Amino acid sequence: MKTKLRLLKCLVIMLFLASTLGAMAQGPYPNQGAQAVCLTGVVEPYGVINTVGSTYAWSVIGGATPADWVLTSTTSNLATVLWKTAGTYTVQIIETNAAGCISAPVTVVVTVNPLPVVALNGPSPVCINSTGNVYTTDAAMTNYVWSVSAGGTITAGGGLNNNTVTITWITATPQTVSVNYTNGTSCTAASATVFNVTVNPLPTTSPIYHN
Amino acid sequence: MKSIILLFITIVILILFPKFNFGQTAPTLGATSGFALFTATGAFDNTGTTLVTGDIGSNSASVTGFPPGSIVGIIHASDATTVQAASDVATAYSDLTQGGSVIGVTLGNGQILTTGVYQTGAASTLNGNLILDGQNDPNALFIIRIGGAFATSINSTITLIDSASLCNVYWQIGGQFDLNDGSTFMGTVIVDGAINLFDGSTLLGRGLSTGGAISLYNNVVRFLPATAGTITGTAAVCQGQTGVIYTVPPITDAAGYIWTLPAGATITAGANTNSVTVTFSATSGNIAVQGSSSCGNGMISANYAVTVNPLPIASDIYHQ
C-alpha cells in the first residue's frame, strides 16, 4: 500500500514537472541569433515571445524599402520580411509594455545571400553513340543534382559530389542535361540550368557499288 | 620668541574664524529653539482662531484655547522639555545683554537699522514701519534691546530688506511685550515679562518669556517655513526615465526646498526650488518635500507615491 502511494506521489510530481516545462515560453520560430537567408523571394518570418499587454514596433535597418526589403506584415510580436536585394540588414523590435515603458531594442543581423547562377557547358551537337561527352558546371559546390534526358547514358560523374557528367547519347533526338547545386552560402538556384544537346545520327552511307 | 608665538596663534585664530564678529553674537536658544511661544512661568491662553507653527508651552501652567486655536507642533505643559526650556530661555535672555548702540525709545516711522546691537535703555514703542536692512548679507545679525516694556501701535510693521532674515533678528525686552492689533512683528522675541499678541497680529519668529503670561488672540505665529502643500507630478514612470517634473506650491517663508525621492532617483534640475526635474532608477517609492530656511525646516508634505515600472525585456528575435 505504501509503495503504491509513493508511486502515485512520484507520478504526480513528474506530471507537474512536465506541465511546468511545457508551459515555459517558447519562441515562435526555431532559431535565434544571426541569420543567413537566400534571396528566394519567399517572405521570412520573425517573432519574439509575446508578452500579454505589450505592443511591438518592428523595423529593418539598412538598405531601403521597397527596393531592398519590404516589411510585409507586422502583427504584434510577429513580422515577415521579403528580402529583395542581397546584403546585410538588421531586423529590430522595440517592446512597449502595458505601463508604457519601452524596452531596449532587440536586433538580429540578417545576411541575405544571392542565389547562384549555375553555369553548364559541354559539347553540342554531338554524334550518336559518341563517347566522352563531358558536361561541366561550377566547381567546389555541394549537392549537385544532375538530370539527363532519356536519350543519354551517364558513363562517369553525375553524382551529388561531381561537377561533371560524362554522357553517351544513344538516341538521335534533341536531348537535355541539367544541373543545380548548393553554393557556399547554402543557396540553390530557383531552377536547374538546362543545356540542350543536339544528337545527330551517323551518316547512312550507301553500300559501295562496284562493277 | 613669545611674541612670535602669540602672533602665530592670533593668525591661526583669524584663519579659523574668518567671520568671527566681536561686536555681536546670536543667543543660544537650546531647548527653546523648537518653540514658537514659551513661558518659563505663567499662564498660556488663546482666544479665537490663532494658527501657530512650532511648539508652544508653559513650564508652570496648562495651555488653553487650542482649539479654537490650531497648532502645527507640540503643546507642552510642565514637562521635561519645559523644564529645560525654562532654564535655556534665561540663558538666551542673558546672552542678549551685549551692550549696543543707543537708539531712541520710539522705533519705526520708516527708521532703518543695519546689522548690529542696539539698545533703547528704557520702555519703548514701535510706531509704523521699522526696516531692518541686511545689506545683502544673509547672515546679518540684528540684536535690539529694549530697556523696559515694549508696545507697538496698531498695524505697525517690521520690514526685512536686502537679505535680512527673521531668523537672525533677536529682541531682548526688559518688560511686557504688547503686539498691538493688526501688527506684523519679526524675530525671536525674548521677554522678561508677559507676551500679549492682540487681535489679528502676526509674529514671524518666536515669543519666549523668562516669566510672564502669554495671551493670544486671532494670531499667526510661526518661525519655520509653512507646511508643504500637495505635490503634483507623474505617479507612474518607467525605470530610468528622465525629465519627470514634480511641483509643490510655493511654501511661505521657505528659502529653499528639501526633496525626498525614492532610492536611486536624482534631481537633474530645479534642486532647492519648488519644482524639480527627476531621473528615476528602478525603485518605486515616495516623494516628499519640506521648506527650509535658516530658522529650520517646515513640516514635510504628504507623501506622493511614485511607481517605477520596470522596462520590458523583449526576447531574442526568433526566425526560421
Summarised one tens digit per residue, pLDDT across range B133-177 is 999 998 899 999 999 999 999 999 999 999 888 889 999 999 999
The three-state DSSP-derived secondary structure of chain A is: CHHHHHHHHHHHHHHHHHHHHHHCCCCCCCECCCEEEECCCCCEEEECCCCCCCEEEEEEECCCCCCCEEEEEEECCEEEEEECCCEEEEEEEEEECCCCCECCCEEEEEEEECCCCCCCECCCCEECCCCCEEEECCCCCEEEEEEECCCEEEEEECCCCCCEEEEEECCCCCEEEEEEEECCCCCECCCCEEEEECEECCCCCCCCCCC
With a threshold of 0.85, tell me whether the complex ipTM lies above it.
Answer: no
| Same domain, residue pair B108 and B160 | yes
Choose the mutation target among A50, A101, A107, A111 for the interface with B, i.e. most B CBs under 10 Å.
A101
What letter represents residue A188's amino acid? T
Partner residue opposite A101 with nearest CB, options B238, B316, B320: B238
For chain A, how many structural domains are there in total? 2
| In-domain check, residue A2 | no
Residues of A in contact with B306 (CB under 8 A): none
| In-domain check, residue A9 | no
For chain B, how many structural domains are there in total? 2
| Same domain, residue pair B187 and B115 | yes
Tell me the Ramachandran region of residue A158: left when phi exceeds 0, alpha when psi lies from -120 to 50, beta otherwise.
Answer: left
| Same domain, residue pair B97 and B175 | yes
* Predicted confidence (pLDDT) at residue B91 exceeds the cutoff of 80: yes
| Same domain, residue pair A57 and A81 | yes
Closest chain A residue to B235 measured between Cα atoms? A99
| Same domain, residue pair A37 and A107 | yes
Q: What is the pTM of this model?
A: 0.66
| Same domain, residue pair A38 and A61 | yes
- Do residue B312 and residue A54 have CB atoms under 8 angstroms apart? yes
| In-domain check, residue B123 | yes
> Of B170, B192, B222, which residue sits at a domain end?
B222
User: What is the pLDDT at residue A26?
Assistant: 76
| Same domain, residue pair B204 and B243 | no
> Of A68, A84, A113, which residue sits at a domain end?
A113
* Whether the Cβ atoms of residue B85 and residue B40 lie closer than 8 Å to each other: yes
pLDDT band at A115 (very low <50, low <70, confident <90, very high): very high
Host domain of residue A147: 126-200
CA A14 to chain centre: 41
| In-domain check, residue A60 | yes
* Predicted confidence (pLDDT) at residue B6 exceeds the cutoff of 50: yes
Partner residue opposite A48 with nearest CB, options B238, B311, B314: B314
| In-domain check, residue B15 | no
> Of B198, B222, B246, which residue sits at a domain end?
B222
* Average pLDDT, rounded, for chain A: 90
| Same domain, residue pair B211 and B294 | no
pLDDT (mean) for A121-127: 95
| Alpha carbons A139 and A162: distance in angstroms, whole number | 8
User: What is the pLDDT at residue B118?
Assistant: 95
Q: Of B131, B187, B313, nearest to B240 (Cα)? A: B313
Compute φ and ψ for B263, nearest 5 degrees: -55, 135
| Same domain, residue pair B248 and B102 | no
The owner of cell 484655547 is: B65
Host domain of residue B272: 236-309
